[in-house]
Structure 1
Amino acid sequence: MSRRREKSSNPDEKKRKMLTAKDLGQLRKIMTYVKPHAGLWALGFFFLLITMGTSLLFPKLLGGLMSSSADNLRNNMLQMMGLLAVQGVAGFFRVVLFVMVTERALAAIRGDLYTHLLHLPMSFFTSKRVGELNSRVASDTAQIGETLTTTLAEFLRGLSMVIGGIA
């Protein structure tokens, strides 16, 4: 028996947007600014894999803790504390490296945007409000930064967790 999906009566609920070829093209343009920092980004991804691996190991150690004898309890607790310490350090370096790459990419984007704005004809500035341009530049670069720092990293972490959980 099939069920019909009812439309939400909540106007605040956003519809899911499908990924289009245009979106991928825009992502490709943004990634050209990340490419000069590929080494740092790869190192950040390495730390992301470490945090993912420790997240996958934690339930296994917790299961061992439940079934261990009193003699092994201290050893298992030390292993869990060590695992959490590794996860914390790796998570710190992951965030620091992704933020470094993002800030450098955003600086390059802002520089190119500023250069582009300088070469626009004066008629462009008479038809647009300066405050509107400043607002758009600030909000768009903040959104790009959020995407590069958090959204992309969480997507890769989730994908790695699924692959690691299956394997």
Structure 2
Amino acid sequence: MLISSNKIKHSLLTLTAVLISTISPWNSANSATFGQKEVEQSNFIAVAMPLNVDRYQLLILEQISNQEACWIEHDNRPTQVEPLLLNFDFTGICGRSTDTNGYSIRKSGEDLGLQYNIDIVKERDELLLLATPVPNPDATPMLIGRTNGITDGFVKINLEPGWRFTKRTYKDKTLGHIYLTNDN
């Protein structure tokens, strides 16, 4: 039995419409469910963590208490970061977010964690922190931060103007999830 290409196209269009209609309400409910709380910016740092040659992962560190320093910044250009939390039991002292379970994008009051991938991309002589739309990876990404150079090891990502750290809230409770937030 042969199926016509028109029937296949119609089936694919129907499936796409169903998927979009089931995802969209969840995203609206998600952004309505979660809020954000302002935080002391100096207690957070975005770091490009080297994985291998020319591959980096975003690492966000948080200084929770002053019992021990969680990192040191070495004022070079770019700023090298020494993650001190690797040298002691940092439970209750430092926070560490290494993937989208621990951080996401929040823009204009909307949680965009499911709609954007967060990547570090090498461009010329620096690393860029970018948010790329998931449904259309060819779309223009949002520039969140940059390292102002490349060096061996961990390097600080300086957030672009308008971007800051906030914490996710649920009802009146502050959660551990960190937002890279922009109100524009």
Task: Select the structure that is richer in helix.
Answer: 1
User: What is the TM-score of this pair, normalised by structure 2?
Assistant: 0.23
Which protein, 1 or 2, shows the higher relative CO under an 8 Å CA cutoff with sep ≥ 6? 1
Task: Select the structure that is richer in strand.
Answer: 2
User: What is the TM-score of this pair, normalised by structure 1?
Assistant: 0.25
Larger Rg: 1
